Chain A
Amino acid sequence: MYTYDELDRTLINERVEEFRDQVKRRLSGELTEDEFKMLRLQNGVYLQLHAYMFRVAIPYGTLSSAQLRRLAHVARRYDRGYGHFTTRQNIQFNWIKLAELPDALADLAEVGIHAMQTSGNNTRNVTSDQWAGVAPGEIEDPRIWSELLRQYTTLHPEFSFLPRKFKFAITASAHDRAAIKVHDIGLRLHKNDAGETGFEVLVGGGLGRTPFIGKTIKPFVHGHDLLSYVEAILRVYNRYGRRDNIYKARIKILVHELGIEKFAKEVEDEWLQMRGSALTVDDAVIEDIRSRFTYPAYEKLPHMPEELKKAAHDPQFERWRKNSTFTHKVQGYAIVTLSLKPVGGPPGDATAEQMDAVADLADKYSFGEIRVGHEQNLALPHVARRDLPALWKALDAIGLATPNVNLVSDIIACPGLDYCSLANARSIPIAQELTRRFANHDTAELIGRLHINISGCINACGHHHVGHIGILGVEKNGEEFYQITIGGRADEQAEVGTLIGPAVAYGEVADVIEDLVEAYLALRERPDELFVDAVKRLGVEPFRERVYATR
């Protein structure tokens, strides 16, 4: 956990007061809606179909129990009793009143949470691996660097009006859980031959209308130079990124149009003039940030405690344990994923009561810490394995023990046309129907790891391009249709999925997905050949045939 100091606290309080003044000027008519729009977006406030939507940042996916309780309070006091966790380690509230927003922000600021730059054409919430600091084999905790970047990007005087939004993600593990290849800047922490910490820097990844996988711009940037190098990239983008067409304004288009070599040279020329400037991060600065992260005092515990041996006779517990708990770097502990994907539920939603209960469970079993992942699930990062049976019972009682993590019903979905003014089609009911079709856990386990991602429009908030199966809502003559892609993935082998054929009607989507899954089960070489690997081996054709032969 990072603990705010007096300076951090002062800054977010000053931000709350600034926004309070901006809202006041809007309500009095002193600000036009056009002028106010960018100001509210820079504080995470969208105007949706039915109401204002409020997006709150959960930097690098780490929350304390006090913070989660405060999110529950906001859901209860200012919204309709629930929140929606997004694919970028944010939480959204869908029914906020503009006049009450400053108070909601002030309540959040008390526990060190803010909504700064969760929207708008600026640097967005810095995201990271939700297992940061606890994953076995991790090089070092990437949240130290995430926090450094959070501070650096917050209210940046030069880069608050970029051509378009700008997203960072960081990982320090070989297996990328932060989807760094589909971010504007992706950072992979690694060490050079001298054992010094640095980053492979990727640039120009992104989804949306024109998906690109990020390209490596520099294989090793020393940690000391991280901020100056990032500033060089942002400056080149700010000056030369396109502003004539919103759909061509992301950095990925600039990188694509210039070519990575030319873009890299522009950045290098800029960087060489700034290197060694006040942006240099010396070790003392890193140590200072590191010192404000607190780590649990782990006990020395056995890998296989009595409690676990006893509980192993309960097949339901065992199913959940095998599915939802993961190896921790410390023996005797586990990382536990809490599925926010119950059968028939909207993906990523949690009620205020669930949030409060998870906060209590975190206090009891996870050193007061909770994580939020881009798959729209929560995690308790430090659970003693002996506590797993008790935790499972408690989670089951609040509907958070669905054993479907990484399985076919662990669906990523944007809010879609049920909420969003940009959407062309609904996402949530498609996800809900799919979770019902694949509600049988035996079947889901037989199918194995399979990521279905759903977006209600081309903006791709549901990351459909990088789903093993991607579903994209489009509108055709006033009706909802869905394009299906397969073979996408968001990890270290990131790829954009391939369209299988013409879009299908709303009522047919679940049938098509079932066909794809059946085709895969028939075609896979071995039970452990994943869907996405079978697509890679076979190409799209056999799947296309199966889906369209009878349609």
Chain B
Amino acid sequence: MPLVKNGKITADAFVHLADDAEIPGDGAILVSAQRFLGDAEALSRRTAPTGVVWPNNRDLDDLVPWLDRLAVVALAFPSFRDGRAYSQARLLRERYGYRGELRATGQVLRDQFLFMLRAGFDAFEVKKQSDAEAFAGTVKRYSVFYQPTGDGRLTALHQRMMLRHSESASQ
């Protein structure tokens, strides 16, 4: 499954670690929320990068205290029709100020890339190779956005206000 990061297909430095696998001394790993919370103190102090895969039906409260020690938070789309992780992503970015990698996992498809970007995801475990290859073009489909999110894109309302101000300033 290709990983898209910074808009490009990239080798995944992280290994998804099974819950019964031994924690390696080095190497970047992604562990489940359950495993992480079982020994969060030690895991978050690993010298190698550590990330956690957070389920979409669990509140973020238990995750928030550890955010600045995590290299990756991976959120789950068990089906692309299940949109809970969009809310989690926005909360992590916009409310809890998480700045590390925010990765979309599960049924990650082309037609949701832009929604995910706007919600704050910056890494994508894409289901299909062809979708991953189409990433750069797909996210340029739209140039107008009606809603403000943490991605900083100007909204249509905001653009209109700026236009009005520049018009009245030039008069």
Contacts and interface: CB of A to CB of B under 8 A. Distances in A.
Interface of A: 5, 7-8, 10-11, 14, 17-18, 22, 30, 35, 38-39, 121, 151-152, 154-162, 235, 238-239, 243, 273, 277-279, 284-285, 288
Contacts of B159: 7
Interface in B108-127: 109, 111-112, 114-116, 118-119
Chain B interface residue number, banded: 35 or more
A288 B161 CA distance: 8
Contact of A10 (B114, B130, B144): B144
Given A30-B130, A273-B95, A288-B161, A157 B142 contact: no
A238 B84 contact: yes
Contacts of A38: 80-81
A274 to B, nearest CB: 9
Contacts of B83: 121, 158-162, 238
Contacts of A152: 146-147
B157 A151 contact: yes
B86 A8 contact: no
Contacts of B119: 157-158
Given A157-B147, A158-B87, A5 B160 contact: yes
Contact of B82 (A155, A161, A285): A161
Contact of B164 (A14, A17, A155, A284): A284
Q: Which of B116, B118, B157 has the most CB of A within 10 A?
A: B157
A15 B145 CA distance: 12
Contacts of B144: 7-8, 10-11, 14
Given A30-B130, A157-B118, A160-B86, 19 more contacts: A5-B160, A7-B159, A11-B156, A18-B142, A151-B146, A151-B157, A156-B146, A157-B114, A157-B116, A158-B86, A158-B147, A161-B81, A161-B112, A162-B83, A238-B86, A239-B84, A239-B88, A277-B148, A285-B157
A30 B142 CA distance: 22
B92 to A, nearest CB: 12
A288 B160 contact: yes
Contacts of A235: 87
The secondary-structure label for the interface of chain B is helix
B103 interface: no
A8 B159 CA distance: 12
Contact of B143 (A5, A10, A158): A10
B137 to A, nearest CB: 10
A159 B119 CA distance: 10
The 9 A-B pairs of least Cβ separation, nearest first, read A161-B83, A157-B118, A278-B148, A11-B144, A157-B115, A151-B146, A7-B156, A158-B86, A7-B144
Contacts of B130: 30
B90 A22 contact: no
Contact of A17 (B84, B109, B141): B141
Contact of B87 (A10, A121, A239, A243): A239
Interface in B4-23: none
A273 B86 CA distance: 18
Contacts of A17: 141
Q: Which of B83, B142, B159, B160 has the most CB of A within 10 A?
A: B83
Contact of A243 (B82, B88, B112, B161): B82
Given A14-B144, A285-B161, A157 B156 contact: no
A278 B94 CA distance: 11
Contacts of B148: 277-279
Nearest to B120: A157
A288 B147 contact: no
B112 to A, nearest CB: 8
21 contacts: A7-B160, A14-B142, A30-B130, A35-B109, A38-B80, A151-B156, A152-B147, A158-B90, A158-B115, A158-B119, A159-B86, A161-B80, A161-B82, A238-B83, A239-B88, A273-B95, A278-B148, A279-B148, A284-B161, A285-B157, A285-B161
B32 interface: no
A288 B162 CA distance: 11
A174 B152 CA distance: 40
Contacts of B118: 157
Nearest to B78: A243
A14 B81 contact: no
